[in-house]
Structure 1
Amino acid sequence: MRPDLPLLLCALHSFGFAAFHLAFWRLFGWKRELAKVGLPTRAIVQILNLRLVYVFLGIGLLCLLYPAQLRGTALGRALLWFMVLFWIGRALEQFIFLRVNRPLVHVLTALFVLGAALFALPLRA
């Protein structure tokens, strides 16, 4: 079986974001920073982050294990469109919620746009 390059790139992008989100505790000093907010907020932030890791790992695995179904079925194409819209929405949310003019924030925004483009690639055929 020949690897499906666009879906392999989607999988790598998803796995990269899963790893990035697993690093949030250290990167953002969550032990210290989240201690400043109430227990419900602290719990919600961490739970949502772990659920995103789960989603990214699942999407990455689907891209690797079911390329023909993603490209060739209505459900697969709907899932690809879902991810295109997910990444477009995430890029737009940068401008709404994270109005920080720093190079790394711009790199992240570009990676969100890249995600939309990558998940759109298998839809063109």
Structure 2
Amino acid sequence: METIIIICGIYSLLLGGFHLFFWTFFNWKKDLSKLSQINKGIMQILNIQMIFVFFATGLICLYFNKDILETNFGKYFLFVNSGFWALRIVNQFLFLRINDYRIHLLTFAFFIGCVLFLIPVIYQTN
């Protein structure tokens, strides 16, 4: 199960890296200029906070994988992260009702995250 936790860490770091490029990928310099100053700021703040969360989660998984597997707190940490990705999938359907293969790929990626973090919780034998 340690390997799954390490994969969860790498997954989280990759998602954090992906968020680093939102300004470029989604042409935020142009598109966010259409928003009010407060909404423009909120979007960027939320993204920066998500980058922090993903990197922190990734590093926790990589450096504390044994602790995660051996403690109830660790199992809760995994379960909460799985829930994060499950909720992200729900939000995908609520707010991004776009029939585009890229959106479907993202939804699949979120499903992978949900399952990855849940596997050690389900199969832990402690």
Q: Which band: TM-score by shorter chain?
A: over 0.9
Which whole-Å deviations, capped at 9, do the CAs of 1:38-97 have from their partners, x for residues lacking one? Answer: 110000000000000000000000001111111111111111111010000001111000
Contact 2:2 2:69 in 1 (8 A): no
Q: Segments of 4+ in structure 1 off by > 2 A?
A: none
TM-score normalized with structure 2 length? 0.94
Equivalenced residue count is: 123
Aligned pair 1:86/2:84, yes or no?
yes
Q: What is residue 115 of structure 2 aligned with on the other side?
A: 117
Q: Distance in 2 between matches of 1:89 and 1:110?
A: 13
**1:27-106 equivalence runs, <5 A:** 27-106=25-104
Query: What is the Cα deviation at residue 12 of structure 1?
Result: 1.2
Unaligned runs of 5+ in 1: none
Query: What is the Cα deviation at residue 11 of structure 1?
Result: 0.9
TM-score normalized with structure 1 length? 0.95
Q: Distance in 2 between matches of 1:27 and 1:86?
A: 23
Query: What is the Cα deviation at residue 4 of structure 1?
Result: 2.2
Unaligned runs of 5+ in 2: none
Q: Distance in 2 between matches of 1:24 and 1:30?
A: 7
Residue type at the aligned position of 1:121: I
Q: Distance in 2 between matches of 1:79 and 1:52?
A: 16
Identity within the alignment, %: 35
Query: What is the Cα deviation at residue 110 of structure 1?
Result: 0.3
